[in-house]
Amino acid sequence: MTPPAITPGTLRDLDQPVLRADGVVLRPWQADDAATVATAYDDPGIRRWHDRAMSADEADAWVASWAGRWRDETGGGWAITTAEEVVGQISLRSLDHGDGRSDVSYWVLPGARGRGVATTALRTVGTWAFGVLGLHRIEVDHSVDNPASCAVATRAGYRLEGTKRGDALHADGWHDMHLHARVAGDTEVS
């Protein structure tokens, strides 16, 4: 009875934008980014929290999949770049048109950590997704054992809403996960 919060076709009808803020550029993935993605998933920190490794062929397929996910309106992924170098990723992993909701994942390569890149990327994607796409709610969840991700979400204005017990299986067992969220209309964090 209630119309969807986001009209189907909204994402598909938009060209995926290049987003810029504070020296960080978020751009759609390109085929030649696959080697960086494969390297990223060799990093123990990224592998631990994202619970996967990735071969060169898998990285090629992962990078290529984002254009189809945009077209199919199931998600959107961006390479996080600084000075034309890929230093991380951020993605709207899902898109619920009915409730206007998505969840976000992100990682940053070791050499770019601690510089605010992930916070800037998360804040920038959120601003675009609320303002242009019309999302109502964006969620971030991370292991309670990952304080760096908790700090990123908090600094970007995603309020901690609670802990989901035993919610994600990692290589070292089940992890409780923090759930953070922003809702359209929340005060922007600078």
Residue 190 in this model has a pLDDT that exceeds 60: no
Number of domains, the chain? 1
Residue 189 in this model has a pLDDT that exceeds 70: no
Do the domain assignments include residue 171? no
**Per-residue pLDDT tens digits for 32-85:** 999 999 999 999 989 888 878 889 999 999 999 999 999 999 999 999 999 889
Closest CA to 129 of 120, 140, 137, 141: 137
State the CB neighbour count (10 A cutoff) for residue 2: 6
Do the domain assignments include residue 58? yes
Do the domain assignments include residue 150? no
Determine the length of the chain.
190
pTM of the model: 0.94
C-beta separation of 116 from 150 below 8 A: no
Do the domain assignments include residue 148? no
* Residue 121 confidence (pLDDT): 98
Which residues partner with 139 through β-bridges?
Answer: 103, 181
Do the domain assignments include residue 69? yes
* Residue 73 confidence (pLDDT): 95
Confidence of residue 31 (pLDDT cuts 50, 70, 90): very high
Name the residue range of residue 94's domain. Answer: 19-132
Proportion of the chain in helix, strand, coil states, percent, rounded to 5: 35, 35, 35
| CA neighbours closer than 13 Å in the CB half-sphere of residue 15 | 4
- The set of long-range contacts for 15-18, using a CB threshold of 8 Å and a minimum separation of 24, is 16/67, 16/70, 16/76, 16/78, 17/128, 17/132
DSSP 3-state assignment of 94? coil
Instruction: Phi first, then psi: give them for residue 83, nearest 5 degrees.
Output: 50, 45
**Per-residue pLDDT tens digits for 120-178:** 999 999 999 999 999 999 999 999 999 999 999 999 999 999 999 999 998 899 999 99
CATH of the domain at 77: 3.40.630.30
Do the domain assignments include residue 123? yes
Do the domain assignments include residue 166? no
- Alpha helices by DSSP H, the chain: 34-40, 44-50, 56-72, 117-128, 147-155
Residue 187 in this model has a pLDDT that exceeds 80: no
Do the domain assignments include residue 158? no
* Residue 84 confidence (pLDDT): 83
